Structure 1
Amino acid sequence: MIHGSKVVSLCISRLHDIENARFVEHLNKHLRKNGCSLWVYNITTDLYWEENKIIGETSIFDLIDFNITDVLIIMEEKIKSKAISAQLIQRAHEKNIPVVMVDGDAEDTAVVRYDYARGFEQVVRHVIDVHQVKRLHYMGGSPGNPFSEERLEIFRSVLTEKGLPFDDKSVSYGYFWAKPAKAATEELIASGDLPEAILCANDIMALNVSSVLQEHGYRIPEDIIVTGFDGIDEIYFSVPCLTSARCGTSGLADSVYQAVIDSIQYGQTNRHYLVEPSLMIHESCGCCTGHGHLTPERMHSFNDRFYRYQDDNRVLSAMSERMQRCVSLPEASWALYDPTLQDMCCIIDNRCIDDTINLLEMPYATAPENDSMLLFFDTDETPFVQRPIRRDEIIPNLKQHLQDGYPLIFNAISFMNVPLGYFCFYFREFEITDYCKIPQIITMLSFGIGGFITRRYQRYLLRRIEEMYQYDALTGLHNRISFNKAFEALKIQHSDRALPVTIILADLDGLKNINDNYGHAAGDQAIEAVARALQHSCPPGTLCVRFGGDEMIAVVPGKSDPNTLDMDIRNTLEQFNAVSGLPFPVSTSLG
């Protein structure tokens, strides 16, 4: 709890997917009524294929503060990482925080899941009972995938119950995606033994199965029935409209909310909450005609997201480029002010301020012990001034945001797989286009911030290389090449008038004796002492050069008193000898 509000932390992937965004909207409405605040920790891609490749982005889960979290929700099927889920559960239980698993299963957690088996069974029975189909084919996801195998078992058991044929030829695999589903359909057509109906384990495969069949001249549903599962919005754009089973977000949000309330009241429970998908009967099974579900509102939403995506991409790309051309941190944040960015702030590791640190090669702690973060950008503050922000502040004006009641959405700033901080979105109105552009904002601004930091470090390296090229490493004086360049520039600067110049020649006394008796390191100390005395005693604007070995020259432009300079140099060396602890005095011959 913080500022009088219970904190419900939700771990999710792909919040920009419409159903996920709707789930957050519904859940937040429930939680607000019960004095709870929803904090969403989001990654833009699931971890099924890349669990060990996107460490930078998954660092957002390390941001969760279990000292203030009241309930943790993990959407495991969205994140698709048993390892991440196990780590989060362990951290929560160490603080006695109850955990609600959505579409996952783990010991000592409440579990909320769709009753996928019951939902798919409705589709199978509908096709058999209503349409009297005798020869059915199952288009599964991936072999061995638990969701695909569960639906296969339902398919097999219903066919067995009805006395219908089933064998290995009754199953194909489309791997839950478009291209494999198309390839599997082509194989079915080529076999010359098409079934009366193809029942797919998800809508994406069903849409592509339908497309391939129609390309080959088959009519749906007259020649062959095709059904899907999930109830995604895209089915309303298919011709014919796809029969499916909807795993609706509203029912899921209701059950998750109940699990959260039970967890707050009773602590950790092992209760299971089942959400039954609803059968969606449309044209592809032959039940109804017309395309009435393609409403103007749905068409407008798709159209708006499509064109907004293109426009926002262009704006954000230009913004990222502007940031990388900036020189200072404030200038980089000013490059972000654009109407495309609203209701968000950006907080970076305070070490990003130091241009001498290569952040891409140093270990990163998402919770620095020194509590060092920097408020890099905030759309709510105009004019904006960057400032330090404590870790426990989390975001500016947190108390007001909690009172306003919208969800707080956190994403990592990741560049070259190195986390540099985090974004927080606090959309004051639920607009699906805002949620859809989260990945674009994160990608473009992460590249902008990371590129800015990298280019700034490169400029630092160039300065260091230039210093190494221009200045003697031991004494810090000009070397011959840079001295000649600086002296020519001095002559050009004063070419319109006569300028008196004093030239001082300094030669360390007894360098060979020092090297022979005390070592070359001692000789270097003596050379360095003379160089410092020369620099310290000469006025600003003097060109000091190590001309070779122990020989140094100082060119003093303008009027000066050589005797005073001589005395200052010798006095400086006397002061050095008094405290140096060297077994020999350092002196110089001057001319």
Structure 2
Amino acid sequence: MKKIALLADGWRRYVTYSWVEGIMEGSKELGLDVCLFFYNTNGTWSQDPKFNKGEYALNDLPDLNSFDGVVFDCTNTINQDEIQYMVRKLQSVNVPIVSIGYKVDGFYYVGNDSKRLFRKVMDHMYYEHGCKSFVFAGGPPYHYENRMRFEAFKKALSDYGIPLTADMYMFGDFDYQTGVRYMIDWHESKKPLPDVFLCANDNIAAGLCATAEVLGYKVPQDFKVTGFDNLDKAAYFNPQITTVEHNRGNIGRKVLEIFKALWNGTGDASDKYLDSEFIPAESCGCPNTGRVDYRNYIKNIIKGSVAKEQEEDAVMILQKELEECNEYYDLFERYSDYIQSMKCDGVYVVGVSDLAAARNNAHFRKHGYDIDDEVVLYADDKDNGKLEFKSVNDLMQYMQSVNKNTCYMYYSLHFRDEIVGYVILRNPEFLYDHPEQFDIQSALLKKLENLFKQKVLENTNNELKNLYNHDALTGLYNRVACNEMVIPMFAELEDQNVGCTIVFLDVDDFKDINDTYGHQYGDELLKTVARVLDEQKPEESMVYRFGGDEFIVFIPGDRHDTAEKYIKRVYDIMEQHSLFISHGIIYTKPGSGKSFDDYLVSADTKMYQLKQQHKQKKDSNFLKGVDISSVPMMVDNNIQIMDREGHECRVFDFLKLNNVNSVRLRIWNEPDKVPESKGYCSLTYVLEMAHVIKKYKMHFLLDFHYSDYWADPGQQNKPDAWKNLSFDELKEAVHKYTYDVLYRLKIMDCAPDMVQIGNEIRSGMLFPDGAVPQYRQLAALVNEGIRAVRELLPETKVMIHLDQGGRYNCIMPWLDSMFNAGMLPIDAIGLSFYSFWHGTFMDLKDTMSRLIKLYNLPVYIVETAHPWRHCKGDHISKELMETAGLDAGSAEQKKSLEIIMQIAAEVSKDTGKTGVYYWEPVGVPGKGMGTWFENMGMFDEHGRALPGWDAIRDFDPKNPPIKELDKYIESLYEYEETPEVEDFMKLLMIHGNLISNPEFKDGFNNWQIETSLEERQYTLGKDGVFISSDANFDYSISQTVDIEYTGEYIAAVDYRGTNTTGVEVELFMDVEDESSVHTYTSDIFPADVRFVTHLLKPVRLQKNARVTVGLRMHTPPVFAKIKKISLVVI
């Protein structure tokens, strides 16, 4: 569905609907799906400049860059400043613009070829009728088409050899009265009559002819007259007026022809001129055209007159009904009923908040719109009847969800130059036959303004009444009202032997909140608390602000259960706002002799006791998270898990018991297209899981992969459906997909609290378009995802997720490059940190600290894991764990989690926001869920929970488990060389190295290098070769040696480098002898803790064999160091 904006000014009080009909009909003929947004103004009717300004304010409503094309019609606009303002605005828009009847550099044009057509008229008068004296009876001098016709007039005179003088042209307006004035002025001037008056349009020509007859002239005998446009005024006038006919209804189709050519990249997108015809007639001395049916014309006039009377009566009835309305809803309902009784499919009314609330101190904008300050006042259409929308964004989304060609016409609601809203009419086809929308609009505006003033007066009186006994900040009853209202009611209930409930509430940590965020923030918090308490209160109950951050709720009657449910509702809502309160409930006992104040003291005491408990249990903003995207597969395979005691339990019950408060889910576009995915991680599964997450009141992090299967540093494959899209189409796809997924979640009340735009995108995403180092293209793609989140879920946080969590020098340059390339602001940085791939624990701490300080953003570990054993078919091998600080083991898994959580908490004290997510902990080995769960999950082969869950459950940021964390981490990284490496070192000392220049002391002499890198990306330093790339790359360095003695040889490399998903590094030896070629390889598991000597198993080589020894890399963005390559004979 293509979106088109049409900006058009009406002719006086009429709507130019023929453009709309042309576009809508043309879209059917051309096979286009079009949604037309028609922004109609009437800035030429009123003599009040402020009223006209209020009309033109509508032009600032649309975000024109969000459309696929814009149509601009200023042919009726008189205000030249407005025209120039709109031209400048449109010239800054990055979508194609088609201008109707007004040529502008850079815009496409549709309209008359006025110069050519007017010249045709003049040539007819000059050559066919012998006219020698001409007068141009023009329209407004600034009007484009009038100027073009005048230019043709001057050029023709020049070609005829007739000098131009000042009395040969007149400028005025395009209306009938202009022709009347021209004729009277000419008559009174006593100037000789010209051979022909060449009028700029038929209105002027008709007015001039009619006045000439009154003054005693005869046309064409005394002088000739021509018009332009072939209006009924010309065709049926006496004399019939010579004119130019052009099919104005065809303009819409020609606009679409241009857009279609541009959208499809084929066809003719040049300017389009209307099919036109010169029609000589009686006013120039030619015969009647014979084209008109006078009897039918008169019949239609009579019918039209009757219809107009009926319409005027209907409008008068409508005006009377509008005047009787005392509420906005009734006003708009009457208006909507009238409009939809004609050919119109719906009415939607949007107003600014000050209008809706009828505020006494209302301050209306005079230019621009703010969607956050707008509300939907009324919505009704023929598809769904009366509608309610929480926001204008919801209304916009609903309008665009209509899956058929649709027109939405907008017009401004304003009190002179003050903007109060706008009305949207859906498919208002009645305007083609009844273009006098302005009369109805004026009646609505007049009543709306009067009703607003009436409601302001009512509200002011109510405010004065409530000022005495209401709290000024929260609007609740105050302490005075409590004494005047509650105490007498309490006494009355006591006399009736009826108990009641008194709830005393207080905001937790309110002083700290005020001191940290300021009193203005504290005031807003109190208003939120007051609103929730008041909105949720039981029937007949009363809420009071007792003072400061203290509130009282009085619930009359013996309603213990009601009070408990009320408190639960309040707590649930407060938690959603990250607010915490404490309360004390007292149930009164009639006849006890206690006063209201006695009960109040008791409730206050209970509240204080609960507040102390809250302080002891209060958690920080630390997210204890898990990524459990594979749980649906586990459920489908009937795999059960057990707690530490061996009791079977459901996954989310288990997570809740272990204090997990956040769940991360990944989503793949169309996993069904990848057999290996088995269809999991689709939107369907995410919706099901999200519902459960929200049911358990957990924080929800959604991870967009923008792929049909895994996306990580080594593979960022486009979804199959996006493979052939252009870059602009790819951006649109990212935005639409993100928006659609989030919308589905939103309407289920399962919207995520945080969203990842891409998964581990340090190498880019959506290859090849978004591959690094194309940072501008990557930023453009990421921005589409960010925009989708901001538009639909402004409260949801946006995160960028990168691997190499312990590598500041990998992450900081990437973020700087992206921000410099125009990436929009984000709310959080997410890191992957696996100790066997991404550096030491101390590297992680250093990286997080520096990122938080540099970017002032919270940093989360959104992926981590640690093996709990080594086993056959394990996912993370023993070799990988040699430099991880902690070996595999269930105790080590727990310790790794404790270290990482403590690091995150320590470095995030200032921001107060962080968290750690264990990646896929829920799964059981040997159950067909993949190699990961053989040793990386957090359940053993019997399905029983491992001790690592205790780390999550018991971790308290304020009381961390490890004392002197830095020293403890340092103690983990103490290494000894293996016996094999020690033996190799001895052989190297004894027999020497057969490789020439093995440590690169002499540059790259004797070395062969094959790589996709630029030379600047592999350099020499004190530790040998240093390789660094921000994109995926291949690199091979090798040397060829001729073997002089038969024997066994060992190849080795001293290597240090970072690791991540998809890294492939191998030491290789290619052997070529007289009879064969053999290749021997050994995989290297990179570690950046220190240089590690990697060995190839001994190979027997024959004399005269040629041996090539080297290192090969095929890897996503990492850095590496090659200190030495060796070949030694045993």
Q: 1:150 to 1:92 in 2, by over 3 A?
A: closer
Q: Which residue of 1 aligns with 2:1104?
A: none
Establish whether residue 21 from structure 1 lines up as the match of residue 17 from structure 2.
yes
Q: Is contact 1:415-1:446 (8 Å) kept?
A: yes
CA distance in 2, matches of 1:567, 1:326: 52
Q: Which residue of 1 aligns with 2:121?
A: 123
Q: Is contact 2:11-2:76 (8 Å) kept?
A: no
Q: Deviations over 1:542-573 (max 9, x none)?
A: 9xxxxxxxxxxxxxxxxxxxx99x97476589
Q: 1:182 to 1:530 in 2, by over 3 A?
A: closer
- Which of 66-75 and 121-130 deviates more? 66-75
Q: Which residue of 2 aligns with 1:246?
A: 245
Q: 1:190 to 1:65 in 2, by over 3 A?
A: closer
CA distance in 1, matches of 2:602, 2:422: 53
Q: Which residue of 1 aligns with 2:112?
A: 114
Q: 1:534 to 1:347 in 2, by over 3 A?
A: closer
Q: Which residue of 2 aligns with 1:508?
A: none
| 1:156 CA drift (Å) | 3.3
The SS at the match of 2:17 is helix
Q: 1:23 to 1:238 in 2, by over 3 A?
A: same
CA distance in 2, matches of 1:448, 1:414: 12
Q: Deviations over 1:163-192 (max 9, x none)?
A: 456433323334433434323322322343
Q: Deviations over 1:187-238 (max 9, x none)?
A: 3223431122211122221111111110011111122211112222322342
Q: Which residue of 2 aligns with 1:559?
A: none
- Which of 10-19 and 438-447 deviates more? 10-19
- The one-letter code of the counterpart of 1:236 is A
Q: Is contact 2:226-2:241 (8 Å) kept?
A: yes
Q: Which residue of 2 aligns with 1:82?
A: 83
State how 1:45-124 maps to structure 2 within 5 Å: 45-46=43-44, 53-66=51-64, 68-79=66-77, 81-90=82-91, 92-93=93-94, 97-124=95-122
- Which of 384-393 and 243-252 deviates more? 384-393
CA distance in 2, matches of 1:530, 1:254: 70
Q: Which residue of 1 aligns with 2:263?
A: 264
Q: Deviations over 1:23-47 (max 9, x none)?
A: 3322322223332313322113349
Which of 32, 37, 42 is the matching residue for 1:35?
Answer: 32
- The one-letter code of the counterpart of 2:488 is C
| 1:455 CA drift (Å) | 2.1
CA distance in 2, matches of 1:171, 1:329: 53
- Which of 117-126 and 233-242 deviates more? 233-242
- The one-letter code of the counterpart of 2:112 is Y
- CA RMSD for the aligned pairs? 4.1
| 1:321 CA drift (Å) | 4.4
State how 1:268-283 maps to structure 2 within 5 Å: 271-275=270-274, 277-283=276-282
Q: Deviations over 1:467-520 (max 9, x none)?
A: 67xxxx4x679xxxxxxxxxxxxxxxxxxxxxxxxxxxxxxxxxxxxxxxxxxx
Q: Is contact 1:244-1:281 (8 Å) kept?
A: yes
Q: 1:397 to 1:299 in 2, by over 3 A?
A: farther
State how 1:177-576 maps to structure 2 within 5 Å: 177-192=175-190, 193-266=192-265, 271-275=270-274, 277-289=276-288, 292-294=291-293, 298-299=297-298, 302-336=301-335, 337-338=337-338, 339=341, 342-349=344-351, 351=353, 354-358=356-360, 361-363=363-365, 368-370=370-372, 372-374=374-376, 376-380=378-382, 384=386, 386-391=388-393, 393-394=395-396, 398-400=400-402, 402-403=403-404, 405-427=405-427, 432-434=432-434, 436-465=435-464, 473=468, 532-539=482-489, 568=595, 571=598
Q: 1:362 to 1:42 in 2, by over 3 A?
A: closer
CA distance in 2, matches of 1:279, 1:414: 43
- The one-letter code of the counterpart of 1:57 is E
The SS at the match of 1:54 is helix
Q: 1:67 to 1:373 in 2, by over 3 A?
A: farther
Which structure has the higher relative contact order (CA within 8 Å, separation 6+)? 1
Q: Is contact 1:410-1:423 (8 Å) kept?
A: yes
Q: Deviations over 1:15-68 (max 9, x none)?
A: 798894333322322223332313322113349987765333234333434464
| 1:432 CA drift (Å) | 2.6
| 1:315 CA drift (Å) | 2.9
| 1:376 CA drift (Å) | 0.7
CA distance in 2, matches of 1:414, 1:224: 49
Question: Which segments of 5 or more consecutive residues in structure 1 lack a partner in the other structure?
Answer: 478-527, 543-562, 579-591
Q: Is contact 1:40-1:410 (8 Å) kept?
A: yes
Establish whether residue 138 from structure 1 lines up as the match of residue 159 from structure 2.
no
Q: Which residue of 2 aligns with 1:155?
A: 153
Q: 1:464 to 1:166 in 2, by over 3 A?
A: same
Matched pairs, number: 494
- The one-letter code of the counterpart of 2:349 is I
- The one-letter code of the counterpart of 2:98 is V
Identity of aligned residues (%): 16
CA distance in 2, matches of 1:292, 1:137: 28
Q: Is contact 1:41-1:411 (8 Å) kept?
A: yes
CA distance in 2, matches of 1:445, 1:48: 16
Q: Which residue of 2 aligns with 1:513?
A: none
Q: 1:59 to 1:305 in 2, by over 3 A?
A: farther
CA distance in 2, matches of 1:277, 1:283: 19
Q: 1:51 to 1:416 in 2, by over 3 A?
A: closer
Q: Deviations over 1:443-477 (max 9, x none)?
A: 22233334333322222123334567xxxx4x679
Which of 2, 5, 10 is the matching residue for 1:6?
Answer: 2
Q: Deviations over 1:78-108 (max 9, x none)?
A: 4453334235415532xxx222222233343
- The one-letter code of the counterpart of 2:489 is P
Q: Is contact 1:12-1:40 (8 Å) kept?
A: yes
Q: Is contact 2:379-2:386 (8 Å) kept?
A: yes
CA distance in 2, matches of 1:22, 1:432: 7
Q: Give TM-score, length-normalised by structure 2.
A: 0.39
Establish whether residue 172 from structure 1 lines up as the match of residue 145 from structure 2.
no
- The one-letter code of the counterpart of 1:6 is K
Task: Answer with 1 or 2: which has the greater Rg.
Answer: 2
CA distance in 1, matches of 2:479, 2:430: 69
Q: 1:270 to 1:428 in 2, by over 3 A?
A: closer
CA distance in 2, matches of 1:104, 1:275: 13
Q: Is contact 2:229-2:245 (8 Å) kept?
A: yes
- Which of 227-236 and 273-282 deviates more? 273-282
CA distance in 1, matches of 2:315, 2:491: 46
* More helix as a share of residues: 1
| 1:576 CA drift (Å) | 12
Q: 1:84 to 1:168 in 2, by over 3 A?
A: closer
Q: Deviations over 1:286-334 (max 9, x none)?
A: 2113765255565555555544444334433443443454344443344
Q: Deviations over 1:97-125 (max 9, x none)?
A: 22222223334322334211111111111
| 1:396 CA drift (Å) | 5.1
Q: Which residue of 2 aligns with 1:583?
A: none
Q: Is contact 2:43-2:55 (8 Å) kept?
A: no
Q: Deviations over 1:130-170 (max 9, x none)?
A: 22223322222345655444433422332343345643332
Q: Which residue of 2 aligns with 1:516?
A: none
